[in-house]
Amino acid sequence: MSQAVKQGSPSRRISSVGVGVGLSLFLGAAFGLGGLTLAGCLRIGLVEDRSSGDETKTDGMTQVDAGPNADTETKTDGGPYDADTDADIANDASMVDGGGDRDDASGADAERTPDAQALDVGTSADAADWTRNIPDLCAPIDWASIDETILHANPNQAAGLDAILDGAPEGATLLLEDGSYILSTPLTITTRGLIVRALSGNRERVILRGGAPNTPVLSILADNVAIASLTIRDSVDDAIQVGLGNVNESAHGTVFYDISVIDSRNADIRARAYSDGGLIACSSFLRTDDLRQRTGGSCASFYGLNLSGVRDWRVELNLLRGHNCGNLATGPSIGLQTGTRDIQVLRNVIVDPFQGIRSGLDSVSNPDRRIYFDTPCGDASNIDNVGGIIANNFVFSSHSDFDTGIAAWSSCDTLIAHNTIYSADHSRQLSSIEWRDPITDVTVSNNLTNFRLLERDGAQATVENNIDDMDANWVVDPLHGDLHLTEAAVDAIGGASLLPVTGCTVDIDGETRSDPADIGADER
């Protein structure tokens, strides 16, 4: 067990000797080093069966009749997916809970400044504008080399999309023509290897709307499904669900690439237990003030990405914005819980959350928790998250509805490194980074914040080379969340030893880090 280092008086650097970085950083069945890349997910490659240690392989594609509701064409010369395309992005619970606690929930919401008001957005086009200062690191995918059997659908066929998908062969691609698809029932994918994407390649031009209480807009119940270049908005419940939460009804190798989810009333994506090896990349997840007004403040379940009881997922290069509930507690923008393991959360931009990233929830006995018997954490029956890395993320809050940037609760063997967290209003903020629960044991290294790091409830952490009182002039535009370093950040530039682990050798922009490395997500 590493030494617990408690937050003391304000200081430029919080340091502890003996950083242990021996974390399990297995990259997962979908895009592992020496294993499968994104192509493996998209091409129905190998799906690891962790219950037996075996691997299963699919047969070749077979042309079948998709039925009268869809136009079909077959591509016979499709070669393997070009793994070099994936290198551009791979450099380097079954329940809704009420979110986190707020230890200081009293006090009125502070009036927002004009700058803060300008951050409110209603479309994913605004989201693209938000990231104008971040290089476009998401290369377009060469879909032509992946697509084999191709189906087409238009908005007039929205009611028949399920039938089109049910009649599709394994590995088929459904191309959605431009327009708004109104879905009265969940769009459920039960065929292995399907790809659903916009024909135009523009996610702004294909919108899935729908919903009924207690049902998602999109439900994925098959392995190696890919969803790309489309928007889901105004869902009554979760926007997307992956798996049903048990071994026999899981969905491995799911890929979400270049999607947008706007104003979901529960989770944007909820991945349930045993649905392993997924990827969420190059996508946008937004909650607007309009939704908060329409729900009358009933937004306690405003989760962003809820990964529950899954392992080997990667969440990278996404924008998550507005996952807060005014002055009430709600879910995190990215939440890992109920037995997650080896999750990588890398190079994301998180704006105006209640909690930015939460690794674990609690150590209370939970029959739904996935338990591992080979962890470095001893008895894992009450551990909510095992292993993984949270690195190179920007977390920014413009207002007082902010609890913490990164929280590790009932989490062990997790690395939290090279993140930059800036909050404009500390009036109700508890911490920038915190570790909580006696069962927690994490490593917190090379993070740059302007508020305290906090140990709670006897949690353990190895803490090294963090700065918790950065000045506003250290970053380019703190009021608008551009947290790239300026030349004024002399204490952060070259302030830490390079961490030679996956996820830490490049910065948020994909630039290679030097040694010594800069503290925070940006390498100047």
Listing DSSP states for 287-319 in one string gives: --HHHHHHTTT--TT--SEEEES-BS-EEES-E
Cβ-contact 353, 323 below 8 angstroms = yes
Q: Which two tokens stand for residue 8?
A: 């003391």
Predicted confidence at residue 136, as pLDDT, reads 59
Predicted confidence at residue 291, as pLDDT, reads 86
Max intra-chain CA distance, the chain: 70
Cβ-contact 209, 233 below 8 angstroms = yes
Of all residues in the chain, what percent are helix, strand and coil, respectively (each to 5)?
A: 10, 30, 60
Q: Per this entry, what is the length of the chain?
A: 524
Kindly report the CATH number that applies to the domain delimited by 85-92+109-485.
2.160.20
Least Cα distance to 112 among 422, 398, 478, 351 occurs for: 398
What's the CA angle centered on 64, arms 75 and 205, to 5 degrees?
60
Predicted confidence at residue 214, as pLDDT, reads 84
Least Cα distance to 297 among 264, 266, 327 occurs for: 327
Distance CA 152, CA 69 (A): 9
In 10 A of CB 445, how many CB atoms?
27
Cβ-contact 256, 227 below 8 angstroms = yes
Note if the pTM is more than 0.85.
no
Per-residue pLDDT of the chain (524 residues; tens, 9 = 90+): 333 343 332 233 333 322 222 212 222 222 332 222 333 333 322 223 333 333 332 232 223 333 334 555 544 333 222 323 333 333 332 222 223 333 333 333 332 222 222 222 233 333 334 343 344 578 888 888 888 899 999 999 999 999 999 999 999 999 999 999 999 889 999 999 999 999 999 999 999 998 778 899 999 999 999 999 999 999 989 999 999 998 889 999 999 999 999 999 999 999 999 999 999 999 999 999 888 888 776 777 789 999 999 999 999 999 999 999 887 889 999 999 999 999 999 999 999 999 999 999 988 888 899 988 887 787 767 899 999 999 999 999 998 989 999 999 999 999 999 999 999 999 989 999 999 999 999 999 999 999 999 999 999 999 999 999 999 999 999 988 899 999 999 999 999 999 999 899 999 999 999 999 999 999 99
Give whole-number Cα distances, 118 to 271, 398, 471, 484, in Å: 32, 10, 23, 20
Least Cα distance to 189 among 153, 163, 157 occurs for: 163
Name residue 453's beta-bridge partners.
433
Predicted confidence at residue 289, as pLDDT, reads 87
**Phi, psi angle pair for 346, to nearest 5°:** -130, 135
β-strand pairing of 279-281 with 394-397: unpaired
β-strand pairing of 46-49 with 54-57: antiparallel
Name residue 314's beta-bridge partners.
279, 344
